[in-house]
């Protein structure tokens, strides 16, 4: 660089920097995940996710109040049932933990969007995302029927958007069909299309008690080495009727987000997962990172990569920092 250029750069006024900024993050982009635990009067902290809690449905009002007052448009619900079985039956009960939470939130804050995660791993005794055969492998097609029931039970309870995260083949199509048949033609599907078999889900599995009791999820989640496969998975979901597509995790997969944004017109969501949250929290607690600056840089980088919206445990803090 010539010295005179350097001098000019140093003199760039903050307002000019603001004017030529290419990317921004707004509160409108944020989705806040919540863990809902069956029971009463529960607000439990989650060790590996400082600042995040498991709430029973009757204890949601404070956190929902905060989300609404910060103008965050949506929450994403995960259920932690009391009882689990081989078939994940609790996941589609009319009065299941998520179904109860949906009704409570809709009563308290009708305009807040309620997105529900559709998966069986929190509800099965073995912790896998579907029904197993004798060898312990997931039975794709049998699982699809259960997932459709789960999705429908969420829609009936008042969910605004259904988000299947199980990664079974064909689940978007079968959920779309089940919703349409029951009069929920206008309930959108946000599909976890490119969900990697990632080690960054560790804290979530502690939070939701959903770690598989044997084996791993490599049979149905994607290999971190693959990117063309991600585009193929997204294309399948779009063809089956996904309204919003998703890449997960976010920071280790910014290249996948960028390619998906270039390739598809559908709104694109990215999930900054529990491990991404835990890393920033842990390093900051040790004084090794400046927490707020790193939070804002991380969410901005996910937007810069091409995400339209972002699921993040930092949603409330980001909203606070933006205001
Ligand atoms: C359920 C599900 C998981 C996450 C979201 N939905 C866990 C998993 O697949 O093991 C992880 C989210 C996070 O780490 O924050 N299948």
Residue 12 lies in a domain: no
Tallying the residues shown for the chain, one arrives at 323
Which pLDDT score is estimated for 3? 67
Residue 248 designated active-site: yes
Helices 61-69 + 97-108 axis angle, to 10: 50
> Ligand 1 centroid to 270 CA: how many Å?
13
pLDDT in tens, the chain (323 residues): 566 676 677 778 889 888 999 999 999 999 999 999 999 999 999 999 999 999 999 999 999 999 999 999 999 999 999 999 899 999 999 999 999 999 999 999 999 999 999 999 899 999 888 888 888 888 989 999 999 999 999 999 999 999 999 888 899 999 999 999 999 999 999 999 999 999 999 999 999 988 888 888 888 889 999 999 999 999 999 999 999 999 999 999 999 999 999 999 999 999 999 999 999 999 999 999 999 999 999 999 999 999 999 999 999 999 999 99
DSSP class of residue 223 equals: P
- Residues in Cβ contact with 39 at an 8 Å cutoff, skipping those fewer than 6 apart: 56, 82
**For ligand 1, mutation pick of 167, 204, 211 (most atoms within 8 Å of CB):** 204
218 SS3 class: coil
Residue 3 lies in a domain: no
Task: Domain count for the chain, please give it.
Answer: 1
Residue 77 lies in a domain: yes
- In the numeric block, which tokens belong to residue 176? 């779309």
Asked if residue 48 lies in contact with residue 57, where contact means CB atoms within 8 angstroms, the answer is no
* CA pair distance 285, 305, nearest whole angstrom: 28
Residue 13 lies in a domain: no
Domain extent for 40: 23-322
Which pLDDT score is estimated for 167? 85
Do the bridges between strand 74-80 and strand 30-37 make them parallel or antiparallel, or are there none, so unpaired? parallel
Dmax of the chain from CA atoms?
73
Residue 14 lies in a domain: no
The answer, yes or no, to whether any atom of ligand 1 lies below 6 A from the CB of 165, is: yes
Residue 15 lies in a domain: no
Which CATH number goes with the domain that contains 100? 3.20.20.70
The answer, yes or no, to whether any atom of ligand 1 lies below 6 A from the CB of 119, is: yes
Give CA separation, 212 vs 27, 208, 275, in Å. 35, 11, 17
How many other C-beta atoms are found inside a 10 Å radius of the C-beta of residue 276? Answer: 22
* CA pair distance 182, 255, nearest whole angstrom: 38
Which pLDDT score is estimated for 216? 83
Residue 119 lies in a domain: yes
Q: Return the ligand 1 atom nearest residue 122 CA.
A: 1
Which is catalytic among the residues 37, 84, 149, 195?
195
Which pLDDT score is estimated for 262? 98
Q: Return the ligand 1 atom nearest residue 78 CA.
A: 6
* CA pair distance 262, 318, nearest whole angstrom: 26
The answer, yes or no, to whether any atom of ligand 1 lies below 6 A from the CB of 197, is: no
* CA pair distance 260, 81, nearest whole angstrom: 34
Q: What is the pTM of this model?
A: 0.95
78 SS3 class: strand
Residue 4 lies in a domain: no
Which pLDDT score is estimated for 2? 65
């Amino acid at each position: 660089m010539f010295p005179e250029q350097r001098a000019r750069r140093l003199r760039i006024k903050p307002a000019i920097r603001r004017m030529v900024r290419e990317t921004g993050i707004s509160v409108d982009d944020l989705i806040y995940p919540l863990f809902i635990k069956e029971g009463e009067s529960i607000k439990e902290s989650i060790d590996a996710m400082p600042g995040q809690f498991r709430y029973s449905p009757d204890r949601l009002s404070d956190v929902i109040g905060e989300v609404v007052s910060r103008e965050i448009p949506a929450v994403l619900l995960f259920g932690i049932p009391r009882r689990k079985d081989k078939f994940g039956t609790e996941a589609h009960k009319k009065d299941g933990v998520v179904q109860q939470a949906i009704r409570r939130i809709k009563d308290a804050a009708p305009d807040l969007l309620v997105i529900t995660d559709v998966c069986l791993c929190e509800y099965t005794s073995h912790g896998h995302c579907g029904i197993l055969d004798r060898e312990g492998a997931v039975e794709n097609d049998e699982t699809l029927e259960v997932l459709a029931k789960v999705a429908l039970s969420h829609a009936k309870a008042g969910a605004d958007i259904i988000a299947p995260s199980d990664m079974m083949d064909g689940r978007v199509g079968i959920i779309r069909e089940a919703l349409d048949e029951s009069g929920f033609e206008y309930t959108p599907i946000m599909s976890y299309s490119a969900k990697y078999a990632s080690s960054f889900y560790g804290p979530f599995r502690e939070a939701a008690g959903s770690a598989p009791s044997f084996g791993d999820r490599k049979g149905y989640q994607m290999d971190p080495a693959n990117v063309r496969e991600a585009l193929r998975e997204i294309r399948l979901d779009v063809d089956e009727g996904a309204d919003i597509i998703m890449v997960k995790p976010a920071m280790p997969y910014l290249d996948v987000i960028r390619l998906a944004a270039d390739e598809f017109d559908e709104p694109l969501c990215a999930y900054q997962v529990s491990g991404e949250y835990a890393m920033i929290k842990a390093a900051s607690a040790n004084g090794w990172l400046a927490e707020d600056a790193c939070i804002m840089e991380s969410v901005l980088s996910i937007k810069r990569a091409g995400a339209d919206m972002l699921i993040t445990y930092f949603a409330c803090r980001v909203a606070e920092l933006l205001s």
